[in-house]
């Protein structure tokens, strides 16, 4: 029996995993990946850095998955994922960022054909280093046959990443213990980049909760704000905050100056399918006021003034649509970008190069030629950070 | 809940990884009290004698219709996955050779698992197709040391589709489930294996078993009838080992407890670092260790 135990222990040391990783840490270092291909060295002693943040929807492009309610896919073929990642990489290469923050990137998930997307992007773009922070690592999610999932956020850089870590965010409290075990645990990924001459900057990538009804997302956003406030290096932060811009206060009474009425849609987006209501994937109410401290205390790539005060004026900075351009909603309206959830910020005393910031919604924006609406359910947001 | 029961039952009953059935070896027949004789070895090539039966909570029921032919089925599964196997004794001497031929119709049971282990396909007409899953096999057993029995076996399970099928391999971390659904989702599952079942006095038996399985190739994904290409290929090779102890209870029954180890490709990757400290992800085969437990009754000893 003792021999048996030793044999099993030895076998387990080769590859035994927990059913799901609870991500039991507050803050921990994570590995750094380096490209195998040899991309050109970046500019020495840069004064500016091109930055892009993009939720890449696990390399699915516009394949509709079951929790979106417009389709019922649960997995993709290698051919489909590689085809999508190739287009995503082409866009990245065309914009040619020095720093790329990605959310919903996967390295070992059944639904995305177990493709290591971090490695794929490293080998197919000029980006040379990456820090990948897992947010969801489960051997088998017993829901719709989803199976193995390893999803997270990543910071890619042309400059060496000298330190990488992930910071745990609060979990939802409105789920059963069983669901919670196999569910995503949000983290913030932080990478420290060496620009040369002992100049270091920090890059953060975030992706907050999308479906909670217990205020988890708001807590996570406040925690992120706290992290930024405590950062000692010059930093850039980007990602999918799952929250609308603070153009109004959702709590303000109708008719008051801060009211959202007529100023910005808070619900009823064209891509919300009626059948999602009442499910675990229904869109909870947005609370844009929680984003106000970010716009007040940091420098956004798109200032509030640029959004304007009407849904029409905000349209050109929308970053998200569950429904793609080849689908129509139940009223027959074609899918299109319909709300802003993704942002880039740098410190208050820093700036973005004039005319360099935009949401790359489609061809012609920041010189991009790709049909971006077909590459993900989020549009990249990008700009050139003027270094201090 | 039904789906869960189905999974647990199938996981332990149908793969042969858990202790599986049948107190029907031709070792001493009448047993006066627990421990008077060793319990017969289980899951061997032995068939009959006529009237001998056995059943467990999870193990299938066997009943010998004649001295050389018995039927095996899992009654718990029959409402959701009709199944029946015939066991035919070809040779009943010092060496025993038995042929098995069985049939499983898993579709309804698999459909009960939609939403958990298979997609619901709420917005399309994709579904788990109707199919027949026959199995043919051969077992050869011999006796050593009076009450010890060795067995080698080979079998082949394959799918006969009766229509379009959108179910894809489970790729879970529960090896018996993956093996159970290997033939329905990849087309076939072949197995070769061997077991040694030793009597330890009159009260205990220890059984060790090793199996090597080869499944069909990873299938293509069809959506709305359109071939989207092959799903990410997995190694078709599965290796399992099972060690269990049977403890005699009452007159002809026993408790069986054991541990199943399985090694196969679940799509896992491990992070390794190069000389400069940079990371990479490399594919690894996964190991599973699962407990097995059942209570098995038997009868037809003529007492």
Amino acid A200: pLDDT: 97
pLDDT (mean) for B250-270:
93
- CATH code where residue B157 lies: 2.40.230
Beta carbons of B273 and B299 less than 8 angstroms apart? no
What is the per-residue pLDDT across B159-168, written as a single tens digit (0 to 9) for each? 999 999 999 9
Cross-strand bridge partners of residue B69: B66, B88
Amino acid A18: pLDDT: 77
Amino acid B36: pLDDT: 58
Amino acid B7: pLDDT: 39
Tokens of B26: 């031709």
Would you say residue A15 has pLDDT above 60?
A: no
Amino acid B34: pLDDT: 56
Instruction: Report the number of distinct structural domains present in chain B.
Output: 1
pLDDT (mean) for A272-284:
89
Please answer yes or no on whether A75 and B168 come within 8 Å at the CB atom. yes
Residue of B116, B278, B282, B291 to mutate, testing the A interface (most A Cβ within 10 Å of its Cβ)? B278
Tokens of A217: 């997302």
The ranges assigned to domains in chain A are 18-386
Please answer yes or no on whether A33 and B278 come within 8 Å at the CB atom. yes
Amino acid B33: pLDDT: 53
Tokens of A108: 């070992």
What is the per-residue pLDDT across A28-71, written as a single tens digit (0 to 9) for each? 999 999 999 889 999 999 999 999 999 999 999 999 999 888 99
pLDDT (mean) for A302-321:
96
Would you say residue A25 has pLDDT above 80?
A: yes
Distance of CA B139 to the CA centre of its chain: 14
pLDDT (mean) for B134-153:
96
Look up the CATH number of domain A18-386. 3.60.10.10
Amino acid A16: pLDDT: 59
What is the per-residue pLDDT across A208-220, written as a single tens digit (0 to 9) for each? 999 999 999 999 9
Nearest Cβ partner for A139 among B118, B173, B289: B173
- CA-based angle B241:A182:A179, to the nearest 5? 125
Residues of A in contact with B278 (CB under 8 A): 31-34
Beta carbons of B245 and B256 less than 8 angstroms apart? yes
Amino acid A3: pLDDT: 43
Amino acid B202: pLDDT: 86
Please answer yes or no on whether B231 and A78 come within 8 Å at the CB atom. yes
Banded model confidence at residue B28, pLDDT cuts 50, 70, 90:
very low
- CA-based angle A95:A100:A106, to the nearest 5? 115
Would you say residue B35 has pLDDT above 70?
A: no
Beta carbons of B109 and B130 less than 8 angstroms apart? no
Amino acid B39: pLDDT: 84
Residue of B231, B242, B265 to mutate, testing the A interface (most A Cβ within 10 Å of its Cβ)? B231
SS3 content of chain A, % helix, strand, coil (to 5): 25, 25, 50
Nearest Cβ partner for B287 among A11, A66, A142: A11
What is the domain range of residue B84? 2-299
Distance from CA of B261 to the nearest CA of A (A): 8
Residues of B in contact with A17 (CB under 8 A): 173, 268, 286
Please answer yes or no on whether B168 and A34 come within 8 Å at the CB atom. no
CA proximity to B172, closest of A325, A143, A160: A143
3-state secondary structure B172-236: CCCHHHHHHCHHHHHCEEEEEEEEEEEEECCCEEEEEEEEEEEECCCCEEEECCEEEEECCCCCC
pLDDT above 70 covers what percent of chain A? 96
CA distance linking residue A332 with residue B270, whole number of Å: 46
Residues of B in contact with A139 (CB under 8 A): 172-173, 266, 268
The mean pLDDT value of chain B amounts to: 88
Nearest Cβ partner for B171 among A14, A76, A148: A148
pLDDT (mean) for A320-329:
96
CA distance linking residue A193 with residue A198, whole number of Å: 10
Would you say residue B22 has pLDDT above 50?
A: no
Residue of B245, B272, B273, B281 to mutate, testing the A interface (most A Cβ within 10 Å of its Cβ)? B281
């Amino acid at each position: 029996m003792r021999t048996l135990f030793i044999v099993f222990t030895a076998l387990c040391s080769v590859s035994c995993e927990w059913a799901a990783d609870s991500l039991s840490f507050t803050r921990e270092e994570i590995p750094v990946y380096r490209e195998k291909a040899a991309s050109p060295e970046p500019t020495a002693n840069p004064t500016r850095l091109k930055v892009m943040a993009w939720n890449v929807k696990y390399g699915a492009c516009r394949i509709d998955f079951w929790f979106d309610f417009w389709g019922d896919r649960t997995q993709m073929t290698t051919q489909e994922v590689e085809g999508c990642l190739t287009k995503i990489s082409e866009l990245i290469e065309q914009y040619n960022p020095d720093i790329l923050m990605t959310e919903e990137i996967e390295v070992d998930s059944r639904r995305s054909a177990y493709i290591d997307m971090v490695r794929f992007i490293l080998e197919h773009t000029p980006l040379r280093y990456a820090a990948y922070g897992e947010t969801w690592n489960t051997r088998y999610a017993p829901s719709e046959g989803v199976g193995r999932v390893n999803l997270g956020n990543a910071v890619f850089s042309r400059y060496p990443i000298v330190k990488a870590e992930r910071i745990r965010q609060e979990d939802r409290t409105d789920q059963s213990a069983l669901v919670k075990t196999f569910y995503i645990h949000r983290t913030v990924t932080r990478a420290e980049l060496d620009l040369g001459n002992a100049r270091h900057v920090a890059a953060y990538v975030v992706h907050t909760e999308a479906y909670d009804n217990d205020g988890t997302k708001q807590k996570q956003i406040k925690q992120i704000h706290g992290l930024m406030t405590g950062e000692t290096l010059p930093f850039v932060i980007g990602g999918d905050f799952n929250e609308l811009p603070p153009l109004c206060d959702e709590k303000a009474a109708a008719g008051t100056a801060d009211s959202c009425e007529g100023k910005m849609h808070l619900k009823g987006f064209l891509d919300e399918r009626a059948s999602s209501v009442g499910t675990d994937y229904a869109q909870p109410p947005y609370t844009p006021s929680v984003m106000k401290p970010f716009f007040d205390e940091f420098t956004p790539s798109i200032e509030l003034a640029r959004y304007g005060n009407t849904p029409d004026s905000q349209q050109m900075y929308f970053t998200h649509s569950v429904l793609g351009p080849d689908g129509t909603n139940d009223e027959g309206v074609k899918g299109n970008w319909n709300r802003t959830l993704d942002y880039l910020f740098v410190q208050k005393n820093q700036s973005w190069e004039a005319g360099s910031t935009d949401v790359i919604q489609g061809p012609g924006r920041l010189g991009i030629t790709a049909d971006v609406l077909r590459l993900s359910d989020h549009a990249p947001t990008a700009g050139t950070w003027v270094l201090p | 809940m039904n789906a869960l029961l189905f999974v647990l039952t199938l996981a332990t009953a149908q793969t042969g990884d858990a202790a599986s059935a049948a107190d029907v070896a031709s070792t001493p027949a009448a047993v006066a009290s627990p421990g008077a004789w060793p319990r017969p070895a289980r899951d061997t090539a032995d068939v009959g004698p006529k009237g001998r039966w056995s059943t467990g909570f999870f193990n299938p029921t066997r009943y010998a219709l004649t001295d050389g032919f018995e039927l095996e089925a899992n009654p718990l599964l029959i409402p959701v996955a009709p199944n029946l196997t015939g066991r035919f004794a070809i040779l009943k001497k010092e060496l025993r050779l038995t042929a098995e031929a069985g049939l499983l119709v898993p579709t309804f049971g698999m459909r009960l698992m939609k939403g958990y282990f298979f997609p619901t396909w709420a917005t399309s007409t994709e579904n788990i197709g109707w199919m027949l899953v026959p199995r043919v096999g051969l077992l050869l057993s011999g006796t050593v040391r009076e009450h010890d029995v060795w067995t080698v076996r080979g079998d082949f399970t394959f799918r006969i589709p009766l229509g379009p099928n959108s179910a894809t391999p489970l790729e879970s971390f529960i090896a018996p489930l993956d093996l159970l659904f290997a033939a329905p989702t990849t087309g076939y599952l072949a197995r070769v294996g061997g077991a040694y079942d030793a009597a330890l006095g009159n009260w205990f038996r220890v059984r060790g078993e090793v199996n090597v399985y080869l499944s069909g190739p990873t299938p293509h994904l069809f959506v709305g009838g359109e071939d989207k290409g092959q799903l990410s290929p997995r190694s078709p090779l599965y290796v399992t080992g099972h060690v269990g102890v049977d403890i005699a209870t009452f007159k002809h029954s026993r408790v069986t407890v054991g541990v199943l180890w399985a090694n196969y490709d679940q799509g896992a990757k491990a992070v390794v670092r190069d000389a400069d400290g940079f990371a990479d992800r490399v594919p690894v085969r996964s190991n599973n260790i699962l407990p097995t437990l059942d209570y098995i009754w038997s009868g037809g000893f003529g007492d």
